[in-house]
Amino acid sequence: MSSSSLRPRRYDLIVFDWDGTLADTTAPIIATMQAAFEEHGLDSPAADEIRPFIGYSLARIVESLAPNLGEETREKIMRTYAGHYLNPNNHNMRLFDSALPCLETLKQQGYWLAVATGKGRSGLDGAIAQTGTADYWLATRCASECPSKPAPDMVLELCDTVGLRPSEALVVGDTTFDLEMAANARARAVAVATGAHSAAQLQSAPCLAVLNNLNELPSFLRTL
């Protein structure tokens, strides 16, 4: 039996957000969203207007940024955004330097690993392929399959898939939406201050700790 299939000693399942947690994508997301608005002759939202909504589904981000636009125009913006951001010729998908060492350590320690992301399925599958991380994930869920964060559905479905209770899962994310999703699922969460929301924002949401980056996660888990 491989180490990745052993039942771990503490939390059984670690559920990672993707953007801003595993991957350094906050700046590309902002730039691509601004470009999508501009391509349709619209004023592009400022970075500080976009940042608070990163972590939601694409549809919810666009609706939040442009509530007065018609549905057809919002659909065009989303298609343009997806066309740019999911283009296989771009290199937006760069993992944080701390991500792979963290995943490898947790896998060797026997933790089960999963992803819960605001991306759609095609975006997540492309990100996993581009980063070569498929072997780490026991299960994944995304916003095209479940209600957007902070709804608990992604965590609940992941736990159901692997046969665990939410209390046996730990969510790791960079936004308050990740932390609230965990709380709504009655799971615990740890924040990493590497993405869209500041450490002060993260501390205002329910979490066990706010870490500087994923390098700190394995040692933090040993304290629980």
Domains, the chain, in order of start with CATH, read 3-24+93-221 (3.40.50.1000), 26-85 (1.10.150)
- Confidence band, pLDDT 50/70/90 cuts, at residue 224: confident
Instruction: Report pLDDT for 116.
Output: 98
Percent of the chain at pLDDT exceeding 70: 93
pLDDT at residue 91, as a whole number: 67
Q: What is the pLDDT of residue 3?
A: 41
Evaluate if residue 6 carries a pLDDT over 70.
no
Please name which of 176, 118, 182, 124 lies closest in space to residue 147, comparing C-alpha atoms: 118
Reading across the β-sheet that carries 139-142, which strands appear in turn?
Answer: 139-142, 112-117, 13-16, 169-173, 188-192, 210-211
- Report yes or no: 87 and 79 within 8 Å, Cβ to Cβ: no
